[in-house]
Structure 1
């Protein structure tokens, strides 16, 4: 299956192994690509030799990567991996429930579509099992320490890694025609591969995670987004028969006493049905946090190292609020699989470079939609600004209209529809509708003796002030959306 030869090193022989494709990282993207290339390469005259390298094959324990949107389920089926969400106690999800001022707003997926929520580690192990079973795939537990580059051209020829075996200290060389780096959000090789094209991830805060036991969400089998006054949103979704994940958005700087912060400021603003289980989780669970990073994808091939490409979070990240990361990753694998299999010689970088250009733009309809929507919604839900509050109110009023005002936006969020300009149309329709609401909707002008709010519509003499405010609201919408759109389209 592989060609193995000894080579000399200062401390003795160092073994080297040659493959067609090396994949560094057996996570979401890496495991899926290994299986996909193997399964789809059966028509080739010579099967592909693939090596999948992973530092630890033990079941990972993470607080993200636990919600797969319907678009991700669709991509799984194209990859022949739909069985990976079976037998892991995965929970079907049918949409979202957004809590605003204690009032639930139901945002269901279109009829016939569903997502899945699960423990991340169980899903990863199912993907790895499929990769191990794939013909021509060798899964190696080893820590990759460096890229092997040609001393003359700088082309990446493979990697050096140390196997996770008792007494193993010798670095082993793994060579391949093409190396794929899929080592996640904390990638060790991102800057080295991208060179001058490398971008620095923007950290927009952290999600702090804990698990609630045997609790009931406001709308069962729906992701719940609770908007908390004075703080970022809280995301909840059921990931097992007895387990519900709770993610608390914490802005920088992170409070020194997170448990006290969540107990005092967050839990009292959640639906009352969650209070007891949330407090129990705080008392018994170890709080863990993950950075909420945004990293736009810059095109690979032109100004990046030859012989190597980045895949998954090592290359492109979006805010996890919408749970779209795995959907983008699986869709990327679907597209890359089909394009790489058409390459006659994986060692021909000019041919691979053309594939990378086509892949970069073929993935845009979905990846741009998910990326833009994730950050725009976070700005809308998480910021505390009078103009963003107008937009947020308009957004909920827009959802209450029903029909396409719900179906199309949630289809974009779920990865069912792939259309950045449809997102553009709905976003600015929301902005204009928010301005209409500003002029026409009753607002609180006082309170009765028993504390009930007194509502009244704006008076005509208030219209000049509202007109000025409307301009600022629309300007804020442009500031939120247009830079994100430009970031996606210019790279």
Structure 2
């Protein structure tokens, strides 16, 4: 059968009989990317999402250079165009008013391909790799539109309620959902079947407890403000502000908009109801620690009298799964503190790895559960090169930057002094942070170097 005829037959099968090679639950970052990647391999894909309106979220707005490279490798690089995305060329850490710039390393281009690189003998200066900041919803819309243009994908607005398991064996055969009938307004049951069901329904997953034995841990929340026409201390940099309060992040998500994410740990005394709540904490503790040029914009954002939108900062270690016919991935399977902005980079990297392991050349039929299980086992080992680095960095840096005891404060001072040294003391850490370096031993080296420097600074003080 010619490819076009086969695509038409598969489309009719998806639309009329709700059958495909793959059912993907959740049209977010991971769901759109894996649906697109598998469809490009010739798989028939049903992409199910409960709400296809443009999402309005306060995280998932910073994509590191490693994530940009993975996105381009998947053929989705154009999704960063036309959404007023802002280039990001590094980080700036402001420690009690002192600032140090940490640009992405110049020699990273060979690993990142078109996101940056060294010269090729043409006399031009090497360019630094770049990340991107943007409105999350605009980026999601671009990903969904890319999926909608793929002839091997059918997108359905429906709310998945449970998985369907065979009566004679435990294999998952698909999912059950409810869909609103536009004529009657009533919700009607529907059933979608596939050889493989990929569940990626986000941080608040409804299916995690069914297939994963671990629970997410939340120790703080990010409260978000949108600052208008805010003068950035370091343009085109992600900014981390450290002081008496927990970390504050600043990054520009549009020509006129800057996102401020303010971390508030659980049981913070100055954010308790008796002390005036979160707004009092933001005004009395956080605001004075911010750069002077930023403070008026924060005051304006707080002027509406409302408690800013917030989101839990979750930690969920990754899990391998052995259930036949189904896998849980994305934030539903693995989360880390969003301080380092590495979540989307891990997701796109995971899709690159997984799509290669599930390719028709390796697994002709996804109904071969034994082959899929072997592929998933390899996937969980191969992803560690990047995911372990991002996960460890996110949790360790948050514990360090939110330090509230003398020993961690000493280590915090050592970390900032390490950044001030420049050179490899910058290139290594920011290369790891940006998803550029995939070598865990580099992380170990810099951790020990920071610890030794912190000890030396304490000895000098004593």
Q: Normalising by structure 1, what TM-score?
A: 0.83
Matches within 5 A, 1:185-204: 185-194=203-212, 198-204=213-219
State the partner residue of 1:234. Answer: 248
State the partner residue of 1:121. Answer: 137
Is the aligned partner of 1:299 residue 2:320?
yes
Give the SS at the match of 1:273: coil
State the partner residue of 2:116. Answer: none
Return the offset for 1:397: 1.0
State the partner residue of 1:48. Answer: 43
Which residue of 371, 385, 389 maps to 2:405? 385
CA distance in 2, matches of 1:255, 1:127: 40
Stretch deviating more after TM superposition (391-400 or 325-334)? 391-400
Matches within 5 A, 1:189-338: 189-194=207-212, 198-229=213-244, 231-253=245-267, 255-256=272-273, 257-284=277-304, 287-301=308-322, 305-338=323-356
State the partner residue of 2:30. Answer: 29
Given that 1:213 and 1:242 are in contact with CA atoms closer than 8 Å, whether structure 2 keeps it comes out as yes
Give the SS at the match of 1:326: helix
1:121-156 C-alpha deviation (Å, 9 max, x unpaired): 000000000011112100000011111111232211
Given that 1:66 and 1:119 are in contact with CA atoms closer than 8 Å, whether structure 2 keeps it comes out as yes
State the partner residue of 1:98. Answer: 93
Q: Which runs of 4+ in 1 moved over 6 A?
A: none
Unaligned 5+ segments in structure 2 are 1-9, 107-127
Give the SS at the match of 2:429: helix
Return the offset for 1:17: 1.6
Give the SS at the match of 2:303: helix
Give the SS at the match of 1:272: coil
Return the offset for 1:95: 0.7
Stretch deviating more after TM superposition (75-84 or 251-260)? 251-260
State the partner residue of 1:154. Answer: 170
Given that 2:29 and 2:140 are in contact with CA atoms closer than 8 Å, whether structure 1 keeps it comes out as yes
Given that 1:55 and 1:164 are in contact with CA atoms closer than 8 Å, whether structure 2 keeps it comes out as no
1:84-124 C-alpha deviation (Å, 9 max, x unpaired): 11110000011111111111111111122110000000000
Q: Normalising by structure 2, what TM-score?
A: 0.89
Given that 2:21 and 2:194 are in contact with CA atoms closer than 8 Å, whether structure 1 keeps it comes out as yes
Given that 1:143 and 1:164 are in contact with CA atoms closer than 8 Å, whether structure 2 keeps it comes out as no
CA distance in 2, matches of 1:164, 1:60: 19
State the partner residue of 1:12. Answer: none
Return the offset for 1:165: 3.7
State the partner residue of 1:131. Answer: 147
The structure showing larger relative contact order (alpha-carbon pairs under 8 Å, at least 6 residues apart) is: 2
Coordinate RMSD, CA, aligned: 1.6
State the partner residue of 2:121. Answer: none
Is the aligned partner of 1:108 residue 2:103?
yes
Return the offset for 1:4: 5.5
Which residue of 54, 61, 64 maps to 2:59? 64
State the partner residue of 1:413. Answer: 433
Give the SS at the match of 2:239: strand
CA distance in 2, matches of 1:170, 1:163: 5
State the partner residue of 1:140. Answer: 156
State the partner residue of 1:89. Answer: 84
Give the SS at the match of 1:211: strand
Which residue of 154, 171, 179 maps to 2:197? 179
1:56-88 C-alpha deviation (Å, 9 max, x unpaired): 110000000000000000101100111111110
Residue-pair matches, total? 421
CA distance in 2, matches of 1:50, 1:177: 10
Unaligned 5+ segments in structure 1 are 7-14, 42-46, 444-457, 459-491
Bigger radius of gyration:
1
Return the offset for 1:37: 1.2
Give the SS at the match of 2:188: coil
Give the SS at the match of 1:170: strand
CA distance in 1, matches of 2:47, 2:135: 23
